[in-house]
Structures are given as C-alpha cells and as structure tokens.
Amino acid sequence: MSGVSVTKDAEDAAPAANDLVVLSNVNKHFGALHVLQDIDLTIARGEVVVVIGPSGSGKSTLCRTINRLETVDSGAISIDGKPLPQEGKELARLRADVGMVFQSFNLFAHKTVLENVMLGQIKVRKADKKAAEEKARTLLDRVGVGVQADKYPAQLSGGQQQRVAIARALAMDPKVM
C-alpha cells in the first residue's frame, strides 16, 4: 500500500461505539520499502471491507498487522476499543477473536477436515468435543464441503481447502474475520 492512504471523513475520525477495528497513522517498512504508509482506517462492526491492490502492495501485511502477526513501525491499532496488545495472554485472547484465512490456508495435514475445524474450538475456546463436532459439521456443510469431513487436506482441491479454512475461522466466532 505504498503511497496509499486509506481515510474516512474527518467527522468519522472520533471512535464510535460500533467501531471494531481502528488503524491510526500506521506505518510499516521492510528495509527501505515503505509498505504501509500513514494508514488510517476504521471498520465498523458488521461492515464488510475489501482490500484490493497489485501483488506486493501491502494487502497481506495490512491484514497481518490487525492481529499482530506483523508489527508496525509506528501508529496505533485498536480492536473493539482496546489497543493492540504487544504480547502474552492479552495478545492470545485478541488472536482468538480475529479470524484469519491465510493464502496457504495452513490446515494441519495430519488431521482430517473435521478435526481441523474442531481443534481451535476445543483448545482455545474450551468447547466440549461433541459441541465442537456439531458446529464443525454445520459450518462444513455451510461452505459446501460437509461430505469431505473425513478426508485429509491433501485429498482436497485448493478451493475445497480454502473453504475448510474459512469454516475453521468461522468456528471460533471471531469478532473480526
């Protein structure tokens, strides 16, 4: 997003109760490359935002900063009115509330599709196994891969793997996806 600044009108600058994600004057460099330049962005609860740009323009970097998978050089980020934590349990809690679907999907190759969608619910959200399985099956059906539940990621097409990753992220009931 080099050279690009995302802003809203000045009257929208003050945080509102329904603001879920707020980036203020965010900058990120990779060496001499200024990838994110003075980014100001407010995303309201329930709002759908699409980030479009050419390869290498900072789209993934911008998304990765929202749950601190990537640190920023300057600026501030808040989620649901709270500043982005630096590390520790607070950061872990934030990451549980921010669903991410990566370009490579990051599914566990040694676990079935169903197990991939259940895992976070059980380990992070402390759901019981039966409830996690029921929710996982519902979400897999919702994204059109319910019949693939007992297969492993390598047995699926790229599009099917992507839908499993979406179901896995949705299973965590994230505030932000």
Same domain, 24 and 75: yes
| Sheet of 19-30, strand order | 33-44, 19-30, 74-79, 82-83
- Structural domain for 128, as ranges: 113-171
Helix (H, G, I), strand (E, B) or coil at 61: helix
Out of 71, 86, 101, pick the residue that ends a domain.
86
Same domain, 81 and 119: no
In order along its 177 residues, the chain shows pLDDT tens digits of: 444 445 444 344 555 779 999 999 999 999 999 999 999 999 999 998 989 999 889 998 999 999 888 999 999 999 999 998 888 888 888 888 888 787 778 899 999 999 999 999 999 999 999 999 999 999 999 999 999 999 999 999 999 999 999 999 999 998 888
* pTM of the model as a whole: 0.71
Rounded-to-integer distance, Cα 177 and Cα 171, Å: 11
Out of 27, 51, 86, pick the residue that ends a domain.
86
Please state the domain count of the chain: 2
Out of 67, 86, 105, pick the residue that ends a domain.
86
Contact 153, 108 (CB under 8 A): yes
51: phi then psi, degrees, rounded to nearest 5 = -105, 115
